[in-house]
Amino acid sequence: MKSLSQRLFSAGLCWAALIGCSLLAAASFAQAPMPPAPTPDDVAAAEGKPATPLREQTIYIPYAKLRSLFEKEGRGVFLPYDKFQQLWKAAQAAAKKIDEIKPPVDALISEIDSVAVINDKADVVEVTAKLKLEVLRQGWNEVPLRLKDAAIRSAKLGDNPARLLHDPATGYRLLFEKKGKDPEQLTLELVYARAYTKSPGTNSVQFDAPLAPVNRWEIRIAQPGVKVNVHPKLSATETTAEMEGDAKPEDKKETRVEAFVGAAEQVRIDWTPKAEGAAGLTALATVQVRQEVTIDERVVRTRATLVYDISRADLNKLQVALPADHDVVNVFDDNVKGWTQKNDALGRIITVDLFQPARGTQNLVIELEKFIGDKEMPAEMARQQVKVPVIRAIDVGRQQGVLVVRLADSLRSEVDSRLDLLQIDAAELPQQLAGQTWAYAFRYSRAAYDLTLTVESVKPQIEVDQLAEVFLEPQQTTLTLLALYNIQRAGVFQLEVDVPEGFDVRQVVGRDIAGAAAVQVDSHHLAEREVKVMENGQEVTRKSKSRLNVNLSRKALGKVALLVELQKRSEDPNLLTPTGKKSAIEVPIVRVNPQSVARSQGRLLVYTPESLSVHPTEQLGLRPVSPAEAVQGLESLRAGRFPLVRELLAFAFTQEPASLKVEAERRRPYIEVQQTLIARIEQGVVKYESQFAYDVRYSGVKSLRLDVPTPLVKELRNQTPAIRERAFDPQPTDVSPGYTALELSGEAELLGGVQVKFTWEQKLAELAAGKGVKIRLPILKAKGVDRFWGQIAATRAETIDIGVDGEATGLRPIDPRVDLKVSVPDAARAFEFHDADAWSLTLLATRYELEAVKKTSVELGLVRMVATRSGQVTVQALYRMRSAKQRIQVKLPDNVDLKTAFDTQPLRINGQAANLESDTQGNLFIPLVGHSPETPVVVELRYTYDGVPSNLQVPTFLDDETAVQQIYLAAYLPEEQRLLGLTGPWTAENRAAWPPKQVNSNDEHLLQQIRASVAGCETLGRDFRTDGTLYLFSALRPTKDDSLRLVNMNNTGLQVLVFALIAIVGILLTSRPLGDRLWYLAALVVGIVLIAVLLPTLARSLTGGPTLYLAIGLVILVWLVRFLVWALPGVVQWIATRPVRTAATASAVAAAAAASTTAPAAGGSSPFRPGGPGSGTMISTPAEPPTTPTATLPEPPTSEGGARHE
């Protein structure tokens, strides 16, 4: 029941909240008290019904299903009103509760006031600091005090000792407890000290002080005049006050410095104790002076840097004597408090007050200025004497220094007088003056020197190279000038240009060209000048406003460029219209004023349009040159402007006066027309298109004339909106019979290129297959033109053939792909004419029926078959094809099991994976949906089957509408297999005719041909792994029965068989005679040649290794050994019987001398025994005389080797 009560209470609370929200909403939006709601009795009384009596009802709540009953949506809980009020107030209080906002930090230091007292006796600095703390969080808090390297003497928080925690890494921390929630302010008094570091002349101490935004320090030193530095020094003041307890302020004083350091991590205090010096003696000072004098136009400026070296005592004031005619512009240094000046006998004396009395080094910078002539309006400087001011320090023991003089670029000078000055080289100048350009440099040892210079202005030397261009047009004349100045010695601020009178200045600007910068133009105006003109045959002088003065905002020096453009409208009727009369024109020339420059040269270019005929009549001071020479070294301003003008005249001129007069006449219009007539012959209609390209030169015309056949007047469709056509009314008298003259006009005069296009159609009778229809082309004539020529192009539909009926009159056949002026891509015939009245052409159109062709063309195929040692063949078939069908049927060899042949991606099209489709009969289809028939497609098919390379079959296309071209088969056999032969309609590609050997090749060139210009196939075929020896074969249009049968054998077995056969036969022939063996050897050679010719594959395998040659060599070696065994005994016997044979020879010679009729004896006998090895012949020996006893020789053997002699 406890659980039930809790649930009832929660439900009641929810209902109370909803009711309270609805009541609040109703109360907030109510404008007036609402009337009481009618009760059921009031409603019944209003309707005339009796009131319903209140009935007491008993409600039973099933206890077993209490949870499921009250936990559903829409269920209600009833509770007493006092209980509802209690829940309602609790809900209101919970809704108004605001989360407590916690402070961002627990405690902080808001302000620190520190007093540091330096104790010279103990060599320590003691700091008394008051820290104001803001405590925000209740409970225990820690505040970091840092002070890692300081010793804390005392710490009090209010009136109680403070709790401090120490950490060697971070320093001290303050620990305290805050009671209560309200913020609280506490005060911590802290006394800490640290020893300071002594060094010669300077003492220093550094604290890791507590951090606070307001951090004020007061440093006290029991010595007056001590220089104290506080780091960081955000704000500091120094005061000298009496020490506490001293009655007389003059007895003991101290140095106090107040500083604000902010939230600095470290505070460092440096101070230098004040030296007493020499008591009672005056200061001893020496001065080093760096005096810089700059002489400019009408002004002399001097800057002197005086470096004092003060010893023995302090100086509070400095005095310097200056020339009275120079104005003091500035006197400054960090220690300068103020300065005054007065004049006396020594000149102008300035007295400088210092903030701090100076001892040691004290710098002082003085700037002077003197104007020569009018100070307000200085004029150009003439030859003047300038005396360099002498700056002398007063009350110094020694003064020496360096004097340098700089001149403006527009001035030059020479030394007039010099006293007590030693001129030095620029390399001897001090570092502050080195690296600058000085006209003079001197050194002096006392301030009694004198230097007077004679200064004068340098006149600028100006050379100018200019290009004047005249654009002479019928409506206006435009003049441009590009002047390239070379200004030396001195700069200028004004340039002068002579311009013709009556022209408007359009543009005056600087121009950047090669090697020259643009001048900075400030303003320009026209001024008057005197010119000489001819009046009534006499030369008179008058004023003309034709001098253009160009003011520059910056001085021009070196190579600079100026651009000037002028323009004037022209109303000469002889130039506007072709009147046939000539007008005399004086060509205006704009040029730089020759009197304002030292040397001047220029070029003149005259441009005219084709519409004007211009001829020079008089030229003065001009030399004709070529247009290319005229713009050499300069830049023409025509670039991108004046497209209708051309270069006509070019001249060169110098500083002498130049003029040019010409005669100009407007040319009559010249009209050339080129017509392109296009006849597009289709089924039942001929669509004509006639384009006229008019080229109107020299002068414009208001209208053009075109004569067309009268029946076409209403059929013509003008496709040029800017051209209007209408028939002449009345018609001209020279119109040919059957023609109507049309007037072509535009919005304005027609000039230049004008394009006019007309189209119309001509109905044709139905074209029967194989029968021709004559089409006579209409002739449109352009009249009133100087030249009219044209071209005719005829196009046709795919099933229509066009020819010429009879002979084309007045026409010349041309190549429609090259010679047509207007591109007609599908033109079949084209002609050209040059006389519109002399040509005629009748075309003959014949329609033919289309014959069905094969819809698929396999241009090239490559099937790569890799035979593995495991008895499987891996196949990759690549085909380059074009097809108009959506799918192509392909047939794999019969020994391929379709269930196990394919991997995950058996088909790829253009390098992208595709699904290989099949039907219920097991036929395979390659989908080509979405590929254009005009674009080649690369299809890749991969599969594997169990088999041997003795029977290789390629996939075939069973569709009759597929045309297969050449197919290559690349067979890869294992390295240990040798190909002995092949059968089938296949050609071996990688073999040589003789010697019969394998040609090293691969199939990469075939892959490149297949994937050429096909997107996505750049690396096609490279991911297919191959192994073994490649044998490449090809066949044209192979069928499913055209298999390749290979005969192969293990290479080791083949070599053993060849070796054994040759060796056995050779050894068996050893006992045969030499002649028989030679015959057998010749038969072997003939057999090898026949095998190479008839069976090249077998010959390549037999002769490809060293086995055959080793066997033949072994046989020859055995034969040689056999020969030596037979021959060596005979040689030994021949050597042993040599003396006997010698004696027999001598006896024979003696007998021959006795009987002259006896034949001479032989000179010797052979060492070999009678009969050759293996032969039955006998070798003859010399005949012995019967009277001479001879040794008995053994009988010759009848076999090779003979009998053995022991």
Give the CATH number of the domain where residue 151 resides. Answer: 2.60.40.1730
Question: Closest by alpha carbon to 940, among 1004, 888, 862?
Answer: 862
**Are 717 and 765 within one domain?**
yes
**Are both 88 and 124 inside the same structural domain?**
no
Tell me: do 421 and 475 sit in the same domain. Answer: no
Cα 1007 versus chain centre, distance: 35
Question: Closest Cα to residue 1168, out of 1190, 1140, 1201?
Answer: 1201
Does residue 909 belong to any structural domain of this protein?
A: yes
Distance (Å, whole) CA 273 – CA 124: 15
Residue 1197: inside a domain: no
Single pTM value for the model: 0.45
Neighbours of 66 (CB within 10 A): 15
Q: What is the pLDDT of residue 95?
A: 67
User: pLDDT tens digit string along 1151-1183?
Assistant: 887 765 444 444 444 554 444 444 443 333 444
Q: Is the pLDDT of residue 442 over 90?
A: yes
pLDDT in tens, 549-561: 999 999 999 999 9
Between 1015 and 727, residue with greater pLDDT: 727
- pLDDT of 243 > 60? The answer is no
- Per-residue pLDDT, 760: 94
- Contact at 8 Å (CB) between 484 and 466? yes
Per-residue pLDDT of 52-76, as tens digits, reads: 555 555 555 555 565 565 566 666 6
Condensed to tens digits (0 to 9), the pLDDT of residues 665-683 reads 998 999 999 999 999 988 8
Residue 49 has pLDDT above 50, yes or no: yes
pLDDT digits (tens, 9 = 90+) for 521-547: 999 999 988 877 767 767 778 888 889
Rounded CA separation 543/564 (Å): 22
Cα–Cα distance for residue pair 913/930, rounded to 1 Å: 14
Dump the DSSP string for 540-583.
EEEEEEEEEEEEEEEEEEEEEEEEEEEEEE---HHHHS--S--E
Beta strands across the sheet bearing 800-804: 772-776, 842-847, 800-804
Last residue of a domain, one of 1013, 1043, 1073: 1043
Q: Comparing 116-125, 874-883, 1157-1166, which segment has the lowest mean pLDDT? A: 1157-1166
pLDDT for residue 209 is more than 60: yes
User: What is the extent of the structural domain holding 797?
Assistant: 671-847
The SS3 assignment for 945 reads: strand
Sign of the CA dihedral with 1124 first, then 1127, 1133, and 1134 last = negative
Count CB atoms within 10 A of the CB of residue 630. Answer: 24
The predicted structure's pLDDT at residue 741:
94
549 and 432 in one domain? Answer: no
Which is higher by pLDDT, 288 or 1179?
A: 288
CA nearest to 477, candidates 589, 573, 598, 616? 589
What does the pLDDT read at residue 245? 43
Assess if residue 301 is contained within a domain: yes
* Statement to judge: residues 675 and 741 lie in one domain: yes
Residues 519 and 570 in one domain: yes
Q: How confident is the model at residue 1114 (pLDDT cuts 50, 70, 90)?
A: confident
% of the chain at pLDDT higher than 70: 84
**Is residue 479 domain-shared with residue 622, that is, in the same domain?**
yes
Q: CB-based contacts of 501: which residues, under 8 Å, 6+ apart?
A: 544, 545, 546
- 953 and 838 in a single domain? The answer is no
Mean pLDDT is highest, among 163-167, 238-242, 648-652, 1177-1181, for 648-652
Residue 451 predicted with pLDDT over 90: yes
Element holding 692 (H helix, E strand): strand 685-709
In a domain, residue 894? The reply is yes
Whether residue 793 is predicted with pLDDT greater than 90 in this model: the reply is yes
Q: CA 565 to CA 499: how far, in whole Å?
A: 10
247 confidence band (pLDDT: 50, 70, 90)? very low
Are the CB atoms for 457 and 297 separated by under 8 Å? yes
pLDDT tens digit string along 471-513? 999 999 999 999 999 998 888 899 999 999 989 999 999 999 8
Of 85-94, 479-488, 945-954, 1091-1100, least confident by mean pLDDT is 1091-1100
1087 or 26: which carries more pLDDT confidence?
Answer: 1087
Which tops the pLDDT comparison, 880 or 1197? 880
Q: Can you tell me whether residue 467 is helix, strand or coil?
A: strand
* Kind plus residue range of the DSSP H or E element containing 845: strand 842-847
Mean of pLDDT values over 33-51: 53
Query: What pLDDT sits at residue 723?
Result: 93
Q: Considering only residues 44 and 1046, tell me which one the structure prediction assigns the higher pLDDT.
A: 1046
Residue 742 has pLDDT above 50, yes or no: yes
Q: How many domains does the chain have?
A: 7
pLDDT tops 70 at residue 42? no
Q: Is the pLDDT of residue 1036 over 70?
A: yes
**Burial degree of 1142 (CB within 10 A; 0-12, 13-18, 19+):** exposed
Which residues are CB-neighbours of 215 under 8 A, at least 6 positions away? 111, 112, 114, 209, 260, 261, 262, 263, 264
* Residue ending a domain, choose from 1010, 1043, 1076: 1043
Residue 791: pLDDT above 80? yes
CB of 587 closer than 8 Å to CB of 661: yes
How many whole angstroms separate alpha carbon 737 and alpha carbon 186? 125
Whether residues 1057 and 1034 share a domain: the answer is: no
Plot region of 553 (φ>0 → left; ψ -120 to 50 → alpha; else → beta): alpha
Residue closest to 492 by CA, chosen among 564, 409, 412, 565: 409
| pLDDT on residue 68 | 60
Do 830 and 866 have their domain in common? no
Does residue 829 sit in the same domain as residue 784? Answer: yes
Would the pLDDT of 651 be above 70?
A: yes
**Of 802, 829, 847, at which residue does a domain stop?**
847
Percent of the chain scoring above 90 in pLDDT? 35
Question: Cβ(945)–Cβ(873) under 8 Å?
Answer: yes
Q: 637 lies in a domain?
A: no
Residues 746, 802, single domain; the answer is: yes
In a domain, 694, yes or no: yes
Segment 309-321 mean pLDDT: 90
Of 463, 498, 465, 462, nearest to 479 by C-alpha is 498
Q: How many other CB atoms are found less than 10 A from the CB of residue 1206? A: 3
Using 50, 70 and 90 to split pLDDT, how confident is the model at 1017? confident
Residue 1007 in this model has a pLDDT that exceeds 70: yes
Residue 1186 domain-assigned (yes or no): no
Of 856 and 1166, the one with more pLDDT: 856
Q: How confident is the model at residue 658 (pLDDT cuts 50, 70, 90)?
A: very high
- Residue 54 counted as domain residue: yes
Alpha helices by DSSP H, listed for 116-229, are none
Mean pLDDT taken over the chain: 82
CATH number at residue 911: 2.60.40
